[in-house]
């Protein structure tokens, strides 16, 4: 039931008192006056977008994004590869393996840009309205928005989509969403209002709800879709691309909607240029590379330093038919690392985790295996101003001190430098680190027996299994395993197929010791941190693979969410980064500040790549003249 407004509530109270008409009238006038003053005090902003801090970069009358080619031609096919397989077109369920790009059909009310952090612009809306405290937001939807079957989008579809994610979304996501949104009201067919729960930080919430994918209620109900179930029925959305065809588990193709409602919007000019997007699946990276050489697909974002350094010498490259580009990236590093499963007792001891981390020799790996092409990751916010450095600043200490006083953090967090990944020497097995790791395991009660294996007081051998679904990682993990065995740990590499990997790393199994994963974050982080690191979702999250449950981290997430200036957010994020790194539940791997791209010379891209996205699917385009030359040369079939 809707709560009565202040004036109505006051009038009802007057009637209950039985006061005379004069008293009642006077009280009601005062109440109405107070309401009017309150209304005047609440400044409502109407805008074409919203920024976390400060002003938007683009004015309301911008003609196109600054980094696109507004004259990019439409046509052709972009073909790429994926590793593994898929058996579902529903990417929002933990059941099944969702196909790559299976959300491409859907849009959200707001959209971001690739050269601006913390900004969202109206896509499905003409404008949005919100008060200065961002306690609610109204989206004024464009009446011309159409789903790809030609049916109109209305505010009811937005409501349905929210309710679907709230009730059927991933467990960790819907937990957070229910904490944020109090009510959603359809004001008219093209106006919808989200009101947020009082007492929670609202800085990011208009952008969060504006970023939810929007489904068609009619299509969803007609096909009896269930967001929690695997399905081979594609979702219906309003996006520029729609499902075309698939060979399930092997390839999938999306085609550009010729009747896309938003093709002439300034924010879409120069984007979505390919007629079709095709993805070919391969069992492993080596097979995929051979497929690229054979022309089965035509653009490859390279993820192997060995392949990048050694293998691009085949005839099509030397003849100039295939281009090999290293394009600059200003994006935040992806937080890639080996992640412990903290649900298992052996990995709950930080000394054991520290000992194992000492045995990964990044320096040797980089020179011997990676051709010196990578840099080490140390921070969850690596390559940004948000990463913690050195000892805590006074502002960070002010945030961390209460947690130390409550016993949630050790006092050393206030004085020690931010945790850094261990360094090693030139040899695969660094003897200094071996001695340090041995001492740590001895202290933790894992001592070496006559057979060279480490056992605890109960006689149990310390074992460790690396769960891996990428054969390309064998050459990286195998030396690590050898180093751990030299330490006395019974370590081994367990290779599984992608389907087994998905099953073993998801709730309720979590059947692994150590996997390669990404410690996720946004440049400007907010409520999503509860999914990545929060205790409340640790047992169900597909993002918090480690199962981290830290009261200190939970409190710091709240501080990050509550920051209302960029300076405060930076300090709070650095404090959180410092504590996450001190937890020592990951072994940081590596990153590069470049995009490695190889492609048949029939694709073009903007002269300047935007800093935060390569944008192959959205910003690049097909050059028919170049493609014709490749066909004439017999390079393309």
Q: Per residue in 356-403, pLDDT tens? A: 999 999 999 999 999 999 999 999 999 999 999 999 999 999 999 999
Q: How open is the CA angle 586-590-596, to the nearest 5 degrees? A: 145
Is residue 450 located within the same domain as residue 573?
yes
Answer whether residue 30 is part of any domain.
yes
Task: Give me Rg for the CA atoms of the chain.
Answer: 28
- Tokens representing 355? 């000992």
pLDDT over 70 at 266, yes or no: yes
CA-based end-to-end distance of the chain:
65
- Based on the structure, what is the number of domains in the chain? 3
Answer whether residue 37 is part of any domain.
yes
Cβ–Cβ under 8 Å, residues 124 and 238? yes
Is residue 508 located within the same domain as residue 399?
yes
246's enclosing H/E stretch is strand 241-247
CB pairs under 8 A, 24+ apart, for 410-414?
A: 413/578, 413/579, 413/582
Is residue 580 located within the same domain as residue 601?
no
Is residue 318 located within the same domain as residue 403?
no
Answer whether residue 116 is part of any domain.
no
Mean pLDDT computed over 273-290: 95
Cβ–Cβ under 8 Å, residues 550 and 583? yes
Distance separating alpha carbons of residues 359 and 119, to the nearest angstrom = 42
Is residue 534 located within the same domain as residue 406?
yes
Angstrom CA distances, 422 to 419, 436, 586, stand at 9, 11, 12
Is residue 587 located within the same domain as residue 599?
no
Distance separating alpha carbons of residues 389 and 575, to the nearest angstrom = 10
Answer whether residue 17 is part of any domain.
yes
| pLDDT at residue number 127 | 98
Is residue 463 located within the same domain as residue 389?
yes
Distance separating alpha carbons of residues 510 and 502, to the nearest angstrom = 10
Answer whether residue 293 is part of any domain.
no
Angstrom CA distances, 494 to 96, 203, 284, 454, 512, stand at 21, 44, 16, 20, 10
Is residue 505 located within the same domain as residue 366?
yes
Mean pLDDT computed over 228-248: 97
| pLDDT at residue number 41 | 54
| pLDDT at residue number 255 | 98
* pTM of model > 0.75: yes
Q: Cβ–Cβ contacts within 10 Å for residue 265, how many?
A: 18
Kindly report which listed range (66-70, 90-94, 242-246, 602-606) carries the lowest average pLDDT score.
90-94
Domain containing 30: what range? Answer: 6-41
Is residue 502 located within the same domain as residue 518?
yes
Q: Tell me which residue of 565, 572, 522, 518 sits closest to 399, measured CA to CA.
A: 572
């Amino acid at each position: 039931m809707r709560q009565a407004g202040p004036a109505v509530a006051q009038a009802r109270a007057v009637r209950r008192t039985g006061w005379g008409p004069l008293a009642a009238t006077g009280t009601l006038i005062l109440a109405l006056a107070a309401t009017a003053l309150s209304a005047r005090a609440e400044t409502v902003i109407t805008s074409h977008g919203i920024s976390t801090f400060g002003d938007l970069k683009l004015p309301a009358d911008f003609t196109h994004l600054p980094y696109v080619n507004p004259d990019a031609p439409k046509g052709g096919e972009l073909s790429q590869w994926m590793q593994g397989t898929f058996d579902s077109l529903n990417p929002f369920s933990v059941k099944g393996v969702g196909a790559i790009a299976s959300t491409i059909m859907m849009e959200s009310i707001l959209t971001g840009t690739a050269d601006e952090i913390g900004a969202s612009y109206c896509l499905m809306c003409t404008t949005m309205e919100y008060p200065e405290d961002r306690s609610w937001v109204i989206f004024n939807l464009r009446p011309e928005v159409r789903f790809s079957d030609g049916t109109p989008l209305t505010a009811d579809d937005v409501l349905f989509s929210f309710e679907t994610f709230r009730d059927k979304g991933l467990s960790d996501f819907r937990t957070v969403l229910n904490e944020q949104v109090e009510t959603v009201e359809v004001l008219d067919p093209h106006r919808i209002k989200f009101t947020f729960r009082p007492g929670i930080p609202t800085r990011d919430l208009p952008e969060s709800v504006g970023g939810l994918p929007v489904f068609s209620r009619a299509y969803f109900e007609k096909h009896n879709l269930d967001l929690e179930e695997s399905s081979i029925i594609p979702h219906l959305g309003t996006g520029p691309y729609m499902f075309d065809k698939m060979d399930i588990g092997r390839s999938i193709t999306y085609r550009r909607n010729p009747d896309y409602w938003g093709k002439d919007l300034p924010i879409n000019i120069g984007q979505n240029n390919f007629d079709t997007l095709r993805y070919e699946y391969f069992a492993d990276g080596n097979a995929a590379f051979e497929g690229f050489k054979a022309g089965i697909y035509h653009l490859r974002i390279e993820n192997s330093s060995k392949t990048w350094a050694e293998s691009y010498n085949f005839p099509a490259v030397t003849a100039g038919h295939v281009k090999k580009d290293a394009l600059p990236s200003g994006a935040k590093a992806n937080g890639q690392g080996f992640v412990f499963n903290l649900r298992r007792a052996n990995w709950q001891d930080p000394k054991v985790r520290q000992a194992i981390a000492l045995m990964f020799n990044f320096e040797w790996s980089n020179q011997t295996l990676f051709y010196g092409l990578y840099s080490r990751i140390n921070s969850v916010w690596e390559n940004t101003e948000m990463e913690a450095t050195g000892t805590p600043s006074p502002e960070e200490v002010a945030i961390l001190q209460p947690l130390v006083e409550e016993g949630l953090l050790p006092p050393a967090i206030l004085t020690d430098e931010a945790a850094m990944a261990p360094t090693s020497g030139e040899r695969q097995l660094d003897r200094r680190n071996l001695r340090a790791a041995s001492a740590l395991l001895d202290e933790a009660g894992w001592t070496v027996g006559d057979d060279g294996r480490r056992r605890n007081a109960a006689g149990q051998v310390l074992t460790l299994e690396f769960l891996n679904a990428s054969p390309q990682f064998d050459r990286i993990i195998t030396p690590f395993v050898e180093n751990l065995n030299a330490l006395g740990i019974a370590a081994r590499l367990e290779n599984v197929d992608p389907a087994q990997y998905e099953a073993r790393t998801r709730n309720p199994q979590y059947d692994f010791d150590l996997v390669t994963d990404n410690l996720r974050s946004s440049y400007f982080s907010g409520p999503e941190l509860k999914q990545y690191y929060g205790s409340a979702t640790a047992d169900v999250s597909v993002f918090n693979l480690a199962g981290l449950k830290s009261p200190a981290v939970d409190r710091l997430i709240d501080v990050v969410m509550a920051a209302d200036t960029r300076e405060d957010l930076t300090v709070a994020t650095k404090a959180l980064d410092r504590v996450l790194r001190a937890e020592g539940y990951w072994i940081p791997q590596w990153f590069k500040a470049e995009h490695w791209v190889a492609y048949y010379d029939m694709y073009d891209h903007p002269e300047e790549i935007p800093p935060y996205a390569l944008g192959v699917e959205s910003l690049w385009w097909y050059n028919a003249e170049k493609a014709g030359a490749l066909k004439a040369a017999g390079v393309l079939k």
